[in-house]
Amino acid sequence: MIETQSSQLLPALFTHFDPQQRLYVLHLGPAMPETVDFFSGYRCKLFFVDLFTELPLVAEEGGPDLVQQFQGLLDFPEGTQFDICLCWDLLNFLDALAISALQEVLLPFLHRQSRIHCFAVHNPRVRPADRTYAIRQQNEFVVRERVEELPGYTGYGQGQLKDLLSGFKFERTVLRSDKRLEMLLNIKS
């Protein structure tokens, strides 16, 4: 099933950038045609890293730790600084250690004007449907239900995420009609 939803926060991703400026965008999820089409209207470098295919991300005894795993998965060219990072609902599928490791690896690729968009759950005990997301317009995204349930659902409310994401400032949060929280973050200066 494909559904289109409006967003109050997606437009805020673009307010700090000159339309003529080259954008660096990180999309943490599967490459979706709507996102590719949308960003084709910008001068940008678009990076897709589908971390959902790596779930569950856990440290195994004798294997690489979570920071090393994320470094291998998020191996960007030196000097890359993302303007926009689309995390979608990824944080709902990472445990506290994985969120900490992701933050540690991602922060060096962000700058003071970087904006991060993500979803959280209003009630962590109620698992929302597993979905994929894409941007259709600056104020609209496309949602597709996943065929298979994703492993590792953890679910965090906003307060828990604020504690876990100590390197980020929660700029704005909106409670959506489906009881998900849509959030806009930037890095603490």
Strand order in 82-88's β-sheet? 44-48, 23-27, 82-88, 110-121, 180-187, 168-175
Residues comprising the chain, all counted: 189
* Of 98-112, 115-129, 154-168, highest mean pLDDT: 98-112
CB atoms within 10 A of CB 119: 19
pLDDT of residue 78: 93
In DSSP notation, 101-159 reads HHHHHHGGGEEEEEEEEEEEESSTTSPPPPEEEEEEETTEEEEEE-SSPPS------HH
pTM of the predicted model as reported, rounded to 2 decimal places: 0.94
Kindly indicate whether the domain formed by 2-187 is annotated with CATH number 3.40.50.1000.
no
Give 2-43 pLDDT, tens digit per residue.
899 999 999 999 888 887 889 999 999 999 999 999 999 899
Domain boundaries, the chain: 2-187
User: φ, ψ for residue 45 (rounded to 5)?
Assistant: -110, 125
Q: What is the mean pLDDT of the chain?
A: 93
pLDDT of residue 150: 94
Q: Alpha-carbon distance 169 to 2, whole Å?
A: 32
91, 55 contact by CB (below 8 A): no
Q: Rounded mean pLDDT of 58-73?
A: 89
pLDDT of residue 27: 98
As separate numbers, helices (DSSP H) first and strands (DSSP E) second, the chain gives 4, 9
pLDDT of residue 183: 96
Burial 68-86 (b: 16+ CB within 10 A, else e): ebbeebbebeeeeebbbbb
pLDDT of residue 182: 96
Q: Alpha-carbon distance 145 to 129, whole Å?
A: 7
